[in-house]
Structure formats: structure tokens, C-alpha cells
Amino acid sequence: MIRRLHQIHVALFHEACSEFEMTPLQYSLLSALAVRKAADQTTLAADIALDRTTTTGALKRLAARNLVERAIDHEDRRARLCKLTAAGAALLAKIETSARAAHRATLGDLSAREQALFIDMMQRIVAGNANRDSAAALFD
């Protein structure tokens, strides 16, 4: 059921945000960068609970669209420091209303009370499994 709910949310996000040519993952990365201002790829991967390889690929695609800047970190030359470009910040501002509409539509069949309860339960599950990353979960 959780996998199916994820599929439904991705479909609703695509319907609401298709004009922006952005995936939910890319939206999450832009949102995380907007909060942090700048972050290395490993930190961003942790912020959105994804493996570094998937995160790096998404960041490369965002950089190719001039939405994210990826520069070598002068303190650790193996790391890439990322930040939103002006175009990335502008696109994030434009997509926000549509993305929030997709989030609301995902939970739209629930009452306001049920939505709050469902979100609370999801947060508790996530918090209770904070030590599990997406790659480790594959081998459990």
C-alpha cells in the first residue's frame, strides 16, 4: 500500500507540475537547497533520505538546466558544494503552488483530522527509523 501511495503521489505531482519538467526528487533537492542555502551532495542526500549516487545524478541534471551550481569544495576537493542559482530559486517559487496542490491532492480523500493523524503517524515511523537509509534498507 505504501508503494502504491507513492505511485499515486508521483502521478499527482506530475499532473500538477508537468509544465515545470521537474520530478518530485528534483523538487525535494531544490527545496532542501533553498533551506540550507548551500550544502555538499552527501548532506543533501541525507536531507531527502536518498543514496548519494541517485542524489548526484539528479543534481547533475539540475545543474545542466542551470538550476543548481555544483562547485568543488575547497576544504574537501572530493566533495561538491551545491547551491541554487537565481534560475533555480525562480523556478522553485513558480512550482511551489503546484507542488503543494499535489501534496494536498494526495491526502484529499481524508478529512482534515485524518490528514493530521496520518502525517503524525508517518513522521513517527520516519523518526523511529532514522538510522535506516535507503541503501541499507535494501539489504535488511
User: How far apart, in whole angstroms, are the C-alpha atoms of residue 119 and residue 126?
Assistant: 10
- Give the global pTM: 0.83
The more confidently predicted of residues 85 and 138 is 85
- Residues 138 and 60 sit within 8 Å (Cβ to Cβ): no
User: How far apart, in whole angstroms, are the C-alpha atoms of residue 59 and residue 53?
Assistant: 10
Provide, for the chain, the percentages of residues in helix, strand and coil under a 3-state DSSP scheme, each rounded to the nearest 5.
65, 10, 25
54-92 tens-digit pLDDT = 999 999 999 999 999 998 877 777 778 899 999 999 999
